């Protein structure tokens, strides 16, 4: 019947975890069935069942620089390895940016 209306419904399966991030709010649904409904070129996803919980912002994994990167930045910027490690974390692993950041702080 739905096919006659131009609506294609397909069950995608059971999702172990679905995370919906809204502005300042996170909704987590575990073990839910997921359906996709397509109308023309649009998709509508339906989540059925599951355990719902709310959480804060999901924190991204923190970047941890390699020891080689730390030594390189420390040598190039003329700073301690700890200062180089902090600068690499601030620069999210961008070596050149970390070196420039450290050199600008020294000036």
- Give me the pLDDT at residue 1, please: 52
Hey, what CATH class is 67-106 in? mainly alpha
Instruction: Identify the bridge partners of residue 57 per DSSP, sorted by sequence position.
Output: none
Whether the CB-CB separation of 53 and 28 falls below 8 Å is answered with yes
Tokens representing 36 are 């996709």
pLDDT digits (tens, 9 = 90+) for 72-81: 999 999 999 9
Say what angle helices 67-77 and 81-90 make with each other, to 10 degrees: 110
Q: Which residue has the higher pLDDT, 83 or 7?
A: 83
Q: Which helix (H) or strand (E) holds 51?
A: strand 51-55
What is the location of CATH 2.20.70 in the chain?
3-55
Domain made up of 3-55: CATH architecture:
Single Sheet (2.20)
pTM: 0.45
């Amino acid at each position: 019947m739905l096919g006659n209306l131009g609506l294609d419904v397909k069950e995608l399966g059971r999702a172990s975890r679905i995370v919906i991030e809204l502005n300042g709010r996170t909704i987590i649904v575990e073990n839910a069935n997921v359906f996709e409904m397509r109308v023309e070129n649009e998709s509508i996803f339906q989540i059925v069942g599951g355990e719902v919980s709310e959480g804060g912002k999901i924190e991204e994994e923190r970047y941890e620089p390699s020891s080689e990167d730390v030594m390189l930045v420390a040598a190039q910027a003329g700073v301690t390895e700890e200062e180089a490690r902090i600068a690499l974390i601030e620069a999210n692993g961008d070596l050149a940016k970390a070196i420039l950041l450290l050199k600008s702080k020294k000036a």
